[in-house]
A and B are shown apart, each in its own frame.
Chain A
Amino acid sequence: QVQLVQSGAEVKKAGASVKISCEAVGYPFTSHHVHWVRQAPGQGLEWVGAISPRNNSTTYARRFQGRVEMTSDPSTSTVFLEVIYLISADTAVYYCARGETGMDVWGQGTTVSVSS
């Protein structure tokens, strides 16, 4: 069964960094891009960026450039999202999702809470 399995909730102080993971299960790891999408409490969906596990190429939303980094580890079929210099507005559920022209499989979400 195709799944994306995400790491557990994180609680961080403002100014710290966080690194969360997303393991691809049940399909060839390098066959699809993986996106990160976040959702602040009570808000809509916001695209953060994407990585191609085939060649590690990344694209980030303009507002996150310089503050996020996406990486992948083919040995564990896992992609990672690191966010640095956390602020309270980064408090959100972060989802990974598979796909190029549509996100057909989503992880269960990772809650990141940032306190000042």
Chain B
Amino acid sequence: DVVMTQSPLSLSVSLGQSASISCNSSDSLVYPDGNTFLNWFHQRPGHAPRRLIYLSSTRDPGVPDRVSGSGSGSEFTLQIGRVGPEDVGSYFCMQATFWPPTFGQGTIVEIK
């Protein structure tokens, strides 16, 4: 199975500052059709995950443009600008290029 490795595992951010989370995969996530099936999710405590980003960099509807995904091959980054109270929780990357889908360990974001 493809191993997804996130860093850092926890992050303390001041209100209004930016946060950056890395996700590396054990294999390149480029599918033969050229697509990269890398997703990012946000999970608030006590809630179900919500997808933020798919295809490495495409925002889901309703996701603010201060949230962005980037990367290619096996190295990916989620950036959150102007962090607010609504951004606390856990962030997970997930690959769906290979079967089975696999998740990163998660990164916990808190407000400093």
Q: Tell me the A residues contacting B by CB distance below 8 Å.
A: 35, 44-47, 59, 61, 95, 97, 99-104, 106-109
Contacts of B105 in A (CB 8 A): 44
Contact, CB under 8 Å: B54 / A108: no
Cβ of B8 within 8 Å of any chain A Cβ, yes or no, is: no
User: In the complex the two chains form, what is the Cα distance from A28 to B35 in whole Å?
Assistant: 25
Q: Most chain-A Cβ atoms within 10 A of its Cβ — which of B41, B48, B106?
A: B48
Q: Which residues of B contact A102 (CB under 8 A)?
A: 37, 39, 51, 54-55, 94, 96
Q: A47-B101, A99-B96 are in contact. List 15 more A-B contacts (CB 8 A).
A: A44-B92, A45-B92, A45-B103, A47-B103, A61-B100, A95-B48, A95-B49, A97-B49, A102-B39, A102-B94, A103-B51, A103-B101, A104-B51, A104-B54, A106-B48
Size of chain B's interface in residues, with CB distance under 8 A? 24
Chain B binding surface, main DSSP class? loop
Q: Which residues of B contact A46 (CB under 8 A)?
A: 103
Alpha-carbon distance between A108 and B46 when the two chains are bound, in angstroms? 10
State how many angstroms separate the Cβ of A94 from the closest Cβ of chain B: 11
Q: How far is the CB of A3 from chain B (nearest CB, A)?
A: 11
Please report the C-alpha to C-alpha distance between residue A81 and residue B90 in the assembled complex, in whole angstroms. 26
On whether A104 and B100 interact (CB within 8 A), knowing A44-B92, A44-B105, A95-B48, the answer reads no
- Contact partners of B92 in chain A: CB under 8 A: 44-45
